[in-house]
Structure 1
């Protein structure tokens, strides 16, 4: 038996999550059965989609049950294996969630090679966020040389990858972030234009930055940023809808006029392609190409990344709440163990 410390969903949040929505427990895990492995979590990924899993509202994935372990991708060390395909002492990508140890089926794991890249990148630029950027651009955004792409939350793991991949494809890139430090980082990454959405004249700055309009808008945020972007979309513009973090904590119907008819009107008159997607739908088709291409781009420096590392599983709830408020700077990773 192995003791595991885990963080579970204590209650469903109304509006923004609070520390009271989480509870820490210690449980004993049985040893692995045939075809299973015992894992020790090294790194835990924190991602915006987890807010949706805390809600009981119908969505693309089942909600976390009250008392259930919070979900999340992990990088883990194999402590014990009862499957010949997974070696003891190896490092793997798993989906163990917010806990220090787990027993998992060997078939659900992907082996990682620490010699190729830091293993934490399997949770970011070489993992789900990076693949989300790659798939959304490949299948929906399709930026062409000379076109203009705009992405918000551009210093995050998805947005930063979107901008850098678009540059590789020959597009002109406009990144939107919050605050001077993040705007300066976008310039370091090679964005053609970097804008602060907190500026009082942000909408005017955006219009001036795209005199020829916007051909691709990678939607991560929604809210006021989207309000400034949509009037600037060109005919036949493409909008991959990846996330709407500005609205994740909204409870109930928002006040104000119904803007849906105007939105539909813009889709019609400008022949827009607006396509929501979940990255898992493209895994079978694109994941091998992603691992090869993104691995090469990261290795040769054409795609750079930034991690916001917090230490200790106990820090996960506060780090998650801060991420939803935009307090993070880069991909949020919890270092659970050495």
Structure 2
């Protein structure tokens, strides 16, 4: 099976690396020629263009920064979709867009799967990230061998589009957790608590979360570089708010979180690292939320293993 991969950024570069590491016949494409050259040096082939990839490969995976970028790439690939071709969308995208583009792929005789990832760039780098997959069951069974090379836990979420809906929910929850843990640690600092002790108290209590156990470490070390930027956060939480608005579901936290992130962008830059949101509170209080002994980057120390399907309860 020949596999094409389009989008070699923070996440896509790592997911495609897992495919290469596991011997997949991989063709790559990105607007950044340096990213392509690095993958070719590691054993991939230069895919030339989205159109060429769809013609050459059995499967083409996209991992792009926005629904607009995915639509532009798909416009080039669609004329070359036919029976047996598979499109796997691993971007965090809009439910309506994945259904629209997926329908075009299916109408041309191909298979479409939305399969976004969750769990952080450090786990994408080791093949230990989690993956949601939305498509019919036969399509899921066809792509599962590839998904288990890129991720540890794979959940079939239902029809096309369901994975993208769940993905924006998880990113919304992660952002709420990030903002709340920033407030918690700032209050503890103001109360005179030791920050390393505060970190451990949260980590071993009912107040812990995946975000605390990962991103809080980068906040405390001063690195504040989680490989995820505020513009991407805004895209994802905006998609979650759109889901609510379309269904007339009144939310209270979501609009507030969007405004907090907008303020962070105005202060620190549109593409500032998302963990720098702690600096709003540091600026307001004069406190520094730092502690010795925490890492400058996240490293996944869980051994890489072949992934598996997780059954919904």
The structure where strand makes up a greater share of residues is 1
TM (norm. structure 1) is: 0.32
